[in-house]
Amino acid sequence: MPGQILDGKKTGQDIQEEVKRRVAQYVKDGQRPPGLATVRVGEDPASRVYVNMKHKACERLGIFSERIEKPEETTTEEVVAIVEALNARNDIDGILVQLPLPPQVDEKAALDRIAPSKDVDGFHPVSVGNLWLGREGFVACTPAGIIELLKRNEVELKGKRAVIVGRSNIVGKPMAALLIREHATVTVCHSRTKDLAGVCRQADILVAAMGRPAFITRDFIREGAVVVDVGMNRVADAGEVERLFGDNPVRREGFEKRGYTLVGDVHPRDMKERASLYTPVPGGVGPLTIAMLMRNTLTAYERREGGAD
C-alpha cells in the first residue's frame, strides 16, 4: 500500500494563517506591525527568487518588510554596517542576510553581528547554543518546520529511532537537536558513515538532507518508516526523469514545459512504496521554511514588545 503524503504546503498555509490573525489583532489594538529586513548582496538569481518570496509572504500576512540590496562588490565592512544599523531600529524585529554572499564578504562576520533577539534565521552562535541547551531562542526555519509538520500529523517522536543523512548547520545539526529535544534517539550520518544504507534502515524517522538527487533508494528505507525529504534538486535529463518517475504524466508535462523537474534526495517512487508517511518534492518541506520565518518574525516582535509567547 503506497504511503500517505505529509502535506507541507497545507501545514505551511495553516501556520501563515495563524501568524496573519495574530498580526491583525496587534494592529487592531493600535500596535505597529512586526518588521522584517532582508539584506541581499550581488545578483545570485536563486537568492533573488527566495527574497521575493519572503517579501510577498510578509505582504500577505501584514508584516512590514524592508528590502536592502547591494552590488556584487560590497565589502564585509559595508554589510556589517548595514546589519548594525538594522539592529538599532525599533521597527525591525527580524534581520535576514540572504546566503550565499559574494566570496569577498565574510559570511561569519556578517551573520555574527545580527542581534540574537533579531536572528529569525536561527544561525547566530547564541541561537545555536540556546537550541542545544534547550533554552529559549530562534531555531533554523527548515528543521523547525519539519518538527511542526510531524507534530501536526501526529507522528510520534518520543522513543523513536531517527536517522538524519547530512550534517549541515542549516538542516542536519539543528534537526538532530530538535529531535533529541523531542526524546527521539538520533543518529547523524554523513559522507564517511560506514554501511549508510544499513544505518538508515534502522530508522523509524528518516530525514534526508545531503543535496544528492534520488540518492536514498528503497535499500535505505525500512518498510513503514516516516521519510522527510529535504532535498531540492533539478533534473534536466529526460532519461533520468523517466527512470525516477516512470510514465507519470504530470512530471513528463512539467519537464517538457520547463526543461527540468525537481527531485529530492530520496528516490520518489521508492519512497512512496516503502514509507508509511513521506514528504513530496515539491510541496513537502519547502513551504514550511518561509512559514516558520514568518512565525519567527512574529515571535521576535512579541518578545521585544512584551506580547504573547
Residues recognised as catalytic: 54, 98, 121
Task: Please check whether residue 293 is in contact with residue 15, taking contact to mean a CB–CB distance below 8 angstroms.
Answer: no
Give the separation between CA 84 and CA 66, rounded to whole angstroms.
15
Which secondary-structure segment (H or E) carries 188? strand 185-189
Q: Which amino acid is at 237?
A: D
Tell me the backbone φ, ψ of residue 149, rounded to 5 degrees.
-60, -45
Whether 74 contacts 41, CB under 8 Å = yes
Identify whether the C-beta of residue 298 lies closer than 8 Å to the C-beta of residue 22. Answer: yes
Amino acid at position 57, single letter: A
CB neighbour burial string for 256-273, b if at least 16 within 10 angstroms, e if fewer:
eeeeebbbbbbbbbbbbe
